[in-house]
Amino acid sequence: MATTYEIINKTTLGSDAAYIEFTSIPDTYKDVILVGSTRTTKTSINDEAELKLNGTAITGIRLFGTGAGVACDTIPIMLPTGANATSNTFDNFTIYIPNYASTTQYKSVSIDQTGENNGTTAYAVFIAGLYSSNTAVSTIRLTSLTGSYVTNSSFYLYGIKNS
Amino acid sequence: MAATYEPIATTTLTGTQANIEFTSISGAYTDFILTGTVVRTAGSDIEFVLGNGSYDTGSNYSLTYLYGTGSAAGSGRGINATKGNAGYASSTNPMSLTIQAQNYSNTSTYKTLLVRNSPASGDVSAIVNLWRSTSAINQIKLTPNSGSFGAGTSLTLYGIKAA
Amino acid sequence: MIGNIVAGTFSAGVAPVTSSYESIASSTLGSSQSSITFSDGGAWADYKHLQLRVMLRGTDSRTNVSGYLRFNSDSGNNYSSHNLYGNGSSAGSDANGLGNSSVNLRDLISAGSLSNTFHVLIIDILDFANTSKNKTVRILGGNDKNGGGTVSLQSGAWYNTNAITSMNISLDNGDLGTYSSFALYGIKD
């Protein structure tokens, strides 16, 4: 029986890593979803993480809450949990890329991310992104811009079929 | 027997089209998720109507939304509307869209639909729509309120079946 | 081999498995009850993540109530919550309970609101059995009442590295009403 929702690949870090990258992503699905639970070494409540598809950073809009206020900008950078958040606490995100293998249009990206901290500051983020290329997405890279993803940060790439 | 997560129907446009419909939606599932990439020919809202056998075009829709424009965040509301709303984009770039309807076949409750809309130009948003009807949803029609859907629009309706 | 991962080193792809998203258990209330609990009786062992899809309405006569999400029967002050929300007039963000006795579920619709209308929540818990991490939940949800309502992205943490073996939802006042529904899904890796 054909399955709709399948794991493509995954990793849980056994040591700190500046970035994680999925390569050679097959084009046999309709959409892909990358979910993750991460924390970085940056000495702050949060770090910043950049999403690149096929080596190109996405553009777009970011709406986020800090626990004390709301902001919106055109910097589609994720906000992973940093080292000054409550210990052993990791964020929770989903990155949805529909039609990722299209060779005739650009790719939209939708990101929901939440971090937690037993303090006022914690980030909840919506990102609307765009990969301005007609090339099928075969590589997804997430890079911590200041620190490194710590041990036990985990990343799971799923493929969604539509038939 | 319905699987837990499976495609019900899919539409991919090779040219422009005024609206997209999914009809005769099976009641065999618990929730449905309508998701994919939307391309439009002009900046616009995506609106939708729901029905059971025929579309409800009465003033039976309302919504609450949270949005970010890229420079400002806000929230708004619509009441006694004749259509639901799946978000706004200002450009013709692809936009990811997800509409979730839980217990869409329940004939004792009104229908609440949760929308995530991620245009890289326009309003990144989360929207909760209410259809004040206890009818089961077995059809949905989406229409841009300006222009049409463009080539490359690809939406799949998935059913989720609870144990 | 399907797909590679690079994090300084290469690793082999994962062999395809049967569907990763599966239903575990569900309940639709035929009458009101004070709470709902899902417990792992061994059925969760195959999964890496959990998703709880909720549609609820309270019985309290107020328009809104708050809800409590607790894990492993822990009602100690081991939780925190934060909220990014739109209330129909403004966007906001706050810390919705620090050092709390539960993850707070805020602004849930109750009996004083428009009839037949329910609040929806999609609760995602990644790595729920990882014993090196506290547990962080991501919750997308809201309700609309044709003139009221809220939509939000909430977060919550349970500051405990134990695997989650049960989860419970209750309300600060009143019961979970008839037709409230709860469906638990497991996601494999």
Give me the interface pTM, i.e. the ipTM.
Answer: 0.97
Find tokens 């729901």 and name the residue.
B50
* pLDDT (0 to 100) of residue C16: 53
3-state SS, residue A74: coil
Q: Do C179 and B106 touch (CB under 8 A)?
A: yes
Beta bridge partners of C125: C50, C137
A90 at interface of C, judged by CB pairs closer than 8 A:
yes
Q: Which strands form C135-144's sheet, in the order they lie side by side?
A: C21-28, C181-187, C49-56, C119-125, C135-144, C149-158, C79-86, C91-95
Residue B3: band (very low, low, confident or very high) from pLDDT cuts 50, 70, 90: confident
- How is residue A142 written in tokens? 């997430």
Mean pLDDT by 10 residues, chain C (189 residues): 43 58 96 98 94 98 98 98 97 92 97 98 98 98 98 98 98 98 97
- Are the Cβ atoms of A37 and C94 closer than 8 angstroms? no
Q: Least CB-CB distance to A114: which of C14, C134, C155?
A: C155
C96: nearest CA in chain A?
A67
The shortest C-alpha distance from B25 to chain A (Å) reads: 16
* Chain C residue set in contact with B, beta carbons under 8 Å: 19, 21-26, 28, 53-55, 84-91, 114, 116-120, 122, 140-153, 179, 181, 183, 185
Task: Name the CA dihedral angle for C72, C74, C75, C77, rounded to a multiple of 10 degrees.
Answer: -140
Convert the pLDDT of each residue in A57-98 to its tens digit. 999 999 999 999 999 999 999 999 999 999 999 999 999 999
Cα B97 to Cα A102: distance, rounded to the nearest angstrom: 16
Put simply, whether A100 touches C (Cβ < 8 Å) is no
Contacts B132 to C, Cβ<8 Å: 114, 116-117, 146
Residue by residue, DSSP assigns B99-157 as: EEEETTT-SSS-EEEEEEEEESSB-EEEEEEEE---SPP-EEEEEESSS-B-TT-EEEE
- Mind listing the pLDDT tens digit of every residue in chain A (163 residues)? 568 999 999 999 999 999 999 999 999 999 999 999 999 999 999 999 999 999 999 999 999 999 999 999 999 999 999 999 999 999 999 999 999 999 999 999 999 999 999 999 999 999 999 999 999 999 999 999 999 999 999 999 999 999 9
- The confidence score (pLDDT) of residue C153 equals 98
* 3-state secondary structure at position B91: coil
- What percentage of chain B has pLDDT greater than the value 70? 99
Contact assignment for B152 to A102 by CB distance below 8 Å: yes
For chain A, state the CA radius of gyration: 16
Q: For chain A, positions 38-57, list CB contacts with chain C under 8 A.
A: none
pLDDT digits (tens, 9 = 90+) for B23-56: 999 999 999 999 999 999 998 999 999 999 999 9
Neighbours of chain C (3+ CB pairs under 8 A): A, B
Give yes or no for a contact between A130 and B94, defined as CB atoms under 8 angstroms apart. Answer: yes
DSSP for B22-45?
A: E-S--TTSSEEEEEEEE-BSSSEE
Q: What is the pLDDT of residue B121?
A: 84
Q: Are A24 and C2 an interchain contact pair (Cβ–Cβ within 8 Å)?
A: yes
- Residue B114: which of C19, C91, C120 has the nearest Cβ? C120
d(CA C131, CA A111): 26
Q: Which residue has the tokens 């395809």?
A: C16
CA distances from A33 to A36, A91, B125 (A): 10, 16, 19
Cβ-based neighbours of A145, under 8 Å, separated by 6 or more: A47, A48, A49, A50, A77
pLDDT above 90: percentage of residues in chain A: 98
